[in-house]
Amino acid sequence: MTNSADHSWTHAGHGLPDSEPSLNTTAIATGLQLPAGFAAIAGDPELGPAITNNLARVEKKLREAIANSDPLADATSRHLVEAGGKRIRPLLTLLCAHLGDASLPAVVQAAVVVELTHLATLYHDDVMDSAPFRRGAPTAHEVWGNSVAVLTGDLIFARASILVSELGGRALGIQARTFERLCLGQLHETVGPRPDEDPVEHYLSVIADKTGSLVAASGQFGAIFSGADEAYEDVLVEYGEKVGVAFQLADDVIDVTGVKVKSGKSPGTDLREGVPTLPVLLLRKAAADGDQSAVDLLTLIDGDLSSDEALAAAVAGLREHPVTAESWVVARRWADEAIAALAPLPEGVVKDSLSNFAVAVVDRAS
């Protein structure tokens, strides 16, 4: 693997601005906190420091990868990186790498690739959804406009492509197929289900593409670039697909539970923006089946939610309706299937942590 710092692509504007201070991985590692479900990692005397130190390296390389000598490109690219985030996808890459030799340099680079890809999709998603906030900060399109936000997402995708190309043809193929699914998921979400297509099945397919595909690639990269047993790859792909869907379904329910989550997304944001989520899709199905309470609630949800009072009433109504509990059941079923997929992995902290993460995904504070 070659050193990207020596490449001619730096002449296209990549590189640290003159005023950029040196980033210290030790300082970064000290401030890192692992997301819920990964307590077993922190408690392991060998795995804990190894994961934390590699996460710090990922964070440092992320900031180096998006840095740009052009002031505008630098500011827009930094916007979401500096807003924080759980870094779940790179964490999964680093964790799964411990099924092989996690010290290989390509492991960290692969982890950077998946997080850059995720960040790029967020710029695009926020434009598509007209979302005002992301991770507690105004979205890029609110600050710089739609065109700049979309182009920034494209720029970050390009940076991810450069880094993944250094990892070889197989990695590039996985990244390309994942990118294709990300785009198809967004396309299918935008146009909606066909007249003959079940809306819930359509939605599950959308989030499998938009969320599950990249989570799956994250674990697969960890196995590939650590030289782990090839048999583990299919296991991690299936796990990643299912836990990614469970994660998004849980987010759907959290949006209507009435609690502001750490991302800065207020309750009912999806309702106000008309974003299709599982509770609302199940509510529409109940209404079509003759549930009068669902019919009445849909009248409110499909009405004007611009006022805080109307939105609060819609959130409260949906939170109390049985479809919300039903949505939790669906999310937990996907998490259970993700855990079951892990059966072929060797017993140990890696398997336990992946299993615990799947549980934590659907047991988040709601």
pLDDT, one tens digit per residue, over 275-298 is: 889 999 999 999 999 999 999 999
Tokens of 72: 């505008």
Whether residue 358 has pLDDT greater than 80 = yes
Q: Are residues 208 and 249 in contact, defined by beta-carbon separation less than 8 angstroms?
A: no
Reading phi first (left if > 0) and then psi (alpha if -120 to 50, else beta), residue 134 is in beta
Q: Which helix (H) or strand (E) holds 166?
A: none
Q: Which helix (H) or strand (E) holds 133?
A: strand 133-134
Final residue in a domain of this structure, among 198, 228, 258: 228
Final residue in a domain of this structure, among 228, 246, 280: 228
> CATH code at 337?
1.10.600.10
Same domain (yes/no): 177, 140? yes
Whether residue 23 has pLDDT greater than 90 = no
Closest by Cα among 97, 314, 132, 51 to 222? 97
Amino acid identity of residue 167, one-letter, is L
Same domain (yes/no): 135, 237? no
Whole-angstrom distance, CA of residue 238 vs CA of residue 216: 7
Tokens of 252: 């759907």
pTM here is: 0.88
Residue 120 within any structural domain of the chain: yes
Residue 195 within any structural domain of the chain: yes
Strand, helix or coil at 74? helix
Whole-angstrom distance, CA of residue 358 vs CA of residue 240: 10
Residue 282 within any structural domain of the chain: yes
Residue 326 within any structural domain of the chain: yes
Instruction: Note the pLDDT tens digit of each residue in 90-140.
Output: 999 999 999 999 999 999 999 999 999 999 998 887 777 767 777 677 787
DSSP state of 321: S
Closest by Cα among 194, 219, 222 to 206? 194
In the chain, the number of structural domains is 2
Final residue in a domain of this structure, among 228, 256, 275: 228
Could you tell me the residue range of the domain that residue 126 belongs to? 39-228
Same domain (yes/no): 77, 217? yes
Q: Which among 29-33, 78-82, 165-169 has the top mean pLDDT?
A: 165-169
Same domain (yes/no): 205, 270? no
Residue 58 within any structural domain of the chain: yes
